[in-house]
Amino acid sequence: MGATEAPSDPTAGWPVRRSPGRPARTSLDELIAAALDLGLDTFTLGAVAERVGVAESTVYGYVPTREALWARAAARVFEALDVEADTDGWEGYVDRVAERTVELARRHPGLRAYLYAGPYEPSTIATYEALIARVRRFRPDVDDDLAFVLVSRPLIAGLGYLDDPVLEPVGPWLRRALIRGMADLLATEPPPPTSAAGWRTKLTRR
Average pLDDT of the segment spanning 137-142: 94
List phi, psi (to 5°) of 27. Answer: -150, 160
Split at pLDDT 50, 70, 90, the class of 104 is: very high
Closest Cα partner for 145 from 96, 195, 87? 195
**Omega before residue 190 within 30° of 0, cis:** no
* Predicted pLDDT at 9: 42
How long a stretch of residues is the chain? Answer: 206
Alpha-carbon gap, residue 6 to 1, rounded angstroms: 15
pTM over 0.75: yes
Mean predicted lDDT score pLDDT of the chain: 88
Q: What's residue 12's pLDDT?
A: 42
pLDDT band at 196 (very low <50, low <70, confident <90, very high): low
Does the pLDDT value for residue 92 go beyond 80?
yes
Q: What are the extents of the domains in the chain?
A: 28-64, 80-201
Task: Place 197 in a pLDDT band, splitting at 50, 70 and 90.
Answer: confident
Mean pLDDT of 31-37: 97
The mean per-residue pLDDT over the stretch 175-200 comes to: 88
Instruction: Write down the pLDDT at residue 16.
Output: 35
Q: 26: which residues sit within 8 A by CB, 6+ positions away?
A: 52, 53, 54, 58, 59, 62
Note the pLDDT of residue 200.
86
State mean pLDDT over 52-58: 95
Q: May I ask the CATH architecture of the domain 28-64?
A: Orthogonal Bundle (1.10)
In this prediction, residue 11 has a pLDDT band, given cuts at 50, 70 and 90, of: very low
For residues 123-134, average pLDDT? 97
